[in-house]
Amino acid sequence: MIRELSFVDVLYLVAATRWTLALTALAFIGGGIVGLSIALLRVSSVAPLRWLGSIYVLVVQGTPLLCWLFVFFFGLSIFGITVSPWLAALSAYSIYAGAFLGEIWRGCLQAIPKTQWEAGSSLGLSFAQQLRYVIVPQAMRLAIPPTVGFLVQLIKNTSLAAVIGFIELTREGQLTTAVTFRPFTVYLIVAAIYFALCFPLTQWSRRLERRLHVAR
């Protein structure tokens, strides 16, 4: 039965936003752990480790995110493994985020002049100590803009989780549209909520850039 769009429907959309934020936060944490590992593999002096990191990045970045969602939600059921939409989405997004964050951070690590690595080595620092005390503090300043930029993309990409039944902001918008038949109004509200989530992040990133003098 079709009914009018009401203020309660808007509240449902706002309430569904918490699942968008929860999925984004957990996927970013999981992807950060994977991404840090990939970045370290990519800058390793051991060739097989670099190849392993490169293969991971090539495979994940060369595969649509939607495929990873389908693999975890539908594919594992072939082996009798039932996966909830929440777990499937979290796994897929963590793998996806890990590849992109790994490349972002790898690029930031390698952007540090080679002389900085040599200086750390001349002081007798191990590879781990060079990273901790010399390279990473400098690379973090460079990593802020692309990392926050990817986080904004991750927030918007959580909308794809709607295809496996994960009820987040976009999925709630679909359900609301089905009962109110007001797609233009509903998705305008959805877009406004996404903007309200992403815009402050971009502004915060710019303030951090200025404070840390990233361009210098």
pLDDT along the chain (216 residues), means of 10: 84 94 96 94 89 95 93 87 91 96 92 81 79 83 88 94 92 92 94 94 82 59
For 113-124, the three-class secondary structure string (H helix, E strand, C coil) is: CHHHHHHHHHCC
- The H or E element containing residue 2 is none
Is the residue at 144 inside a domain? Answer: yes
Is the residue at 107 inside a domain? Answer: yes
Tokens of 140: 């973090």
What's the pLDDT at 63?
Answer: 93
Is the residue at 59 inside a domain? Answer: yes
Number of domains, the chain: 1
Is the residue at 98 inside a domain? Answer: yes
Q: How far apart are CA 90 and CA 87, in angstroms?
A: 5
The 10 Å Cβ neighbour count of residue 193 is: 19
What's the pLDDT at 60?
Answer: 95
What's the pLDDT at 213?
Answer: 61
What's the pLDDT at 30?
Answer: 96
The pTM for the full model equals: 0.89
Alpha helical stretches, state H, the chain: 7-42, 47-61, 65-73, 85-111, 114-122, 127-130, 136-157, 169-180, 183-212
Q: How far apart are CA 53 and CA 45, in angstroms?
A: 12
What's the pLDDT at 4?
Answer: 84
Is the residue at 1 inside a domain? Answer: no
22: domain range?
7-212
What's the pLDDT at 212?
Answer: 67
Domain of 78, CATH number, reads 1.10.3720.10
What's the pLDDT at 152?
Answer: 93
DSSP string, 154-199: HHHHGGGGGGGT--SHHHHHHHHHHHH--HHHHHHHHHHHHHHHHH
What's the pLDDT at 113?
Answer: 85
What's the pLDDT at 214?
Answer: 53
Q: How far apart are CA 167 and CA 84, in angstroms?
A: 12
What's the pLDDT at 137?
Answer: 83
